[in-house]
Amino acid sequence: MAAMTKASHWLRPFYVPVLLVLAWDVLSRVNDSFRYAFVPVREISTGLQEILISGQLFENLLASLQTTCVGLAIGTVLGLLVGSIMGVSRIADDIISPLFNAWRPVPTLGFVPLIALWFGSGDLSKLVIVVLAAFEPVVLNTYEGLRASDDKYREVGDVFRLNRRQLFFSVQLPSAVPMIVTGVLHALGFAWIATIGCELLFTVGPGLGGLMEHAQMAGRMDIIILCVVSIGLAGLAMNTAVEWLARRLLRWRHA
Amino acid sequence: MHNGGMHNLSIEDLAKDYSIDGRTLPVLRDISLQVRPGEFLSIVGPSGCGKSTLLRLIAGLDREFSGSIRFQGEPVLGTSLERGLVFQDHRLFPWMTVAQNVALAMRNSGLSAAEQSGRVEAHLELVRLSDFAKAYPQQLSGGMAQRAALARALVNKPKLLLLDEPLGALDALTRVRVREELARIWMHEGTTMIMVTHDVDEAVQLSDRVVVMDARPGRIRHVLEVPVAHPREHANPLLQQIRESLLSELMNTTGPRAT
């Protein structure tokens, strides 16, 4: 009985996808125009074999993942730096906050024309956009996390004569880590979206976005579907990996 | 034994105001108090009598006051590792283990790493938490967390330990246990202790002297001697008598309006 409950628990995430595939299959059999809009599942699996064997899927997926990871890493480091400075220094906060808050509402992809003008429409521009996308939530959460750091803990630091550096690294920053982790998780999502978005807009170099663009021009609906599914699954995998890392980092909370 | 008239802590004409919405609110007035080395002193009084504020001033956490606070002859201008402080809420850092929390207190002690880890071990033993060195505060009961905080405050071997209602957040049974622990440590270490409390029983049981304060503004009403040797039996008739007189006195300080 318990085993059954456990098994059904693991199956739960698959309920909706299976239903969608079934509905898709039914729709693809209605008539020819439906058949064009809802490519039959069998054709999709043939397409999958094709791009798996040719290595196209792997190559493009890897390129997109790489752009995201590098962009996320740079964006996180920069975000931690700027967020920390804003969180610790009142003067820096006064100088940077209004600028940051005016910049935030502009969608990251809204910077594409400007970035393309400055850096061309190559890999560097892609990376810059992804870095910007990752940077924003990390700054915001680092700043908020440091601001929310409890004065009670600061007093403890005062009692033990901690200097500013010790106070920052031993008290303020660790107390902000839960929020920073949330920021990095958001940054990952934004970086992945920005990566695919840039690849669709720039269409140079390898990447899932580029693969989609080409498939659209070639009328290969099956490959577009496969790309969408791959983007979703890769996003899920990266999110799970970062959440796992975060749980390890925040062991003290779940102890 | 306590080298004659030498005072550990000397407070003269201390006054403290808070400023709220531009208006000045007197918190402490005319506080003068001499504390002897090795003494256990309690401060009791109604809420709003400024007893916690007084403790923060002695700790050096609050630097705005008039009058003078001298510790071992030197004016108190800020915090010092010589003056430890235990807060009512344990204030352990949740992201550090018990041992790391205790070690943090020695970050600027100038002790070698080996000395530091030796002291952490010794002080966890002192508060009977050796088995929980690697536990996170989240995993401790209230009483254990407060004992860990006590170890953290004692690890620098302060000459003066300030305790701000250290047992206030504990349930009745744990309270009695940690109180006994505190008495044992005080006798063992010989540290001068000043404890703020609203628990008369606690104050009388532990203290050599009890300072009774009045509220609005906070000032010392009088200082009561508890001339009973340690360790003390709770049932000691003299303690019983002192408890009762102190309790009735505190009822009066809450004001004649009380019914």
pLDDT for residue B249: 84
> What are B55's two structure tokens?
């403790």
Integer Cα distance of A109 and A198 in angstroms? 7
In order of start, what are the domains of chain A with their CATH numbers?
Answer: 60-250 (1.10.3720.10)
B136/A252 CB distance under 8 A: yes
Using pLDDT thresholds of 50, 70 and 90, give the confidence band for residue A78: very high
pLDDT for residue A254: 74
pLDDT for residue B171: 84
User: A158-185 pLDDT, tens per residue?
Assistant: 999 999 999 999 999 999 999 999 999 9
Partners of B161 in beta bridges: B84, B193
Mean pLDDT to the nearest integer, A62-83: 97
Partners of B213 in beta bridges: B220
- If you ran DSSP here, which 8-state letter would residue B110 be given? -
A162/B107 CB distance under 8 A: yes
For residue A126, give the H/E element and its range.
Answer: helix A123-148
Integer Cα distance of A199 and A207 in angstroms? 6
- Angle at the Cα of B244 from the Cα atoms of B242 and B247, rounded to 5 degrees: 105
> B83-86 and B192-196: which strand pairing?
unpaired
Are the beta carbons of B161 and B191 closer than 8 angstroms? yes
**Nearby residues of B185 by Cβ (< 8 Å), 6 or more positions away:** B126, B127, B150, B154, B191
Report the residue of chain A nearest B100, measured CA to CA: A170
pLDDT for residue B153: 94
pLDDT for residue B253: 59
Residues of chain B under the 50 pLDDT cut: 1-5, 255-259
Residue B23 CB neighbour total at 10 angstroms: 8
A–B CB contacts, 8 A cutoff, strictly below: 58
Integer Cα distance of A194 and A212 in angstroms? 15
Q: How far does the CA of residue B136 sit from the closest CA of chain A (Å)?
A: 6
Nearest to A86 by CA among A151, A161, A138: A138
Interface of A to B at Cβ within 8 Å reads 152-153, 155-156, 158-163, 166, 170-171, 174-175, 177, 251-253, 255
Average pLDDT, chain A: 91
Residue A141 CB neighbour total at 10 angstroms: 24
User: A122-138 pLDDT, tens per residue?
Assistant: 889 999 999 999 999 99
Alpha-carbon distances, residue B180 vs A164, B7, B63, B207 (angstroms): 37, 27, 33, 12
Mean pLDDT to the nearest integer, A181-198: 96
Bond before A113 cis per omega within 30 degrees: no
pLDDT for residue B215: 87
The ipTM estimated for the assembled molecules is: 0.88
Q: How far does the CA of residue A12 sit from the closest CA of chain B (Å)?
A: 33
A252/B94 CB distance under 8 A: yes
- Which chain B residues touch A161 with a CB distance below 8 Å? 79-81, 107-108
Q: How far does the CA of residue B257 sit from the closest CA of chain A (Å)?
A: 35
pLDDT for residue B47: 83
User: A204-252 pLDDT, tens per residue?
Assistant: 788 999 999 999 999 899 999 999 999 999 999 999 999 999 998 898 8
Alpha-carbon distances, residue B104 vs A255, B87, B98 (angstroms): 20, 16, 10
pLDDT for residue B4: 41
* Tokens 């969180």 found at: A87
Interface of B to A at Cβ within 8 Å reads 59, 61, 79-81, 84-85, 87, 89, 91, 93-96, 104-105, 107-108, 135-139, 156
Report the residue of chain A nearest B152, measured CA to CA: A160
Burial of B119 (0-12, 13-18, 19+ CB in 10 A): buried
pLDDT at A72 > cutoff 90: yes
Phi/psi for B222 (5° steps) reads: -165, 170
Bond before B231 cis per omega within 30 degrees: yes
Phi/psi for B55 (5° steps) reads: -65, -40
Report the residue of chain A nearest B98, measured CA to CA: A252
B105/A251 CB distance under 8 A: no
pLDDT at A155 > cutoff 50: yes
pLDDT for residue B3: 42
pLDDT at A49 > cutoff 90: yes
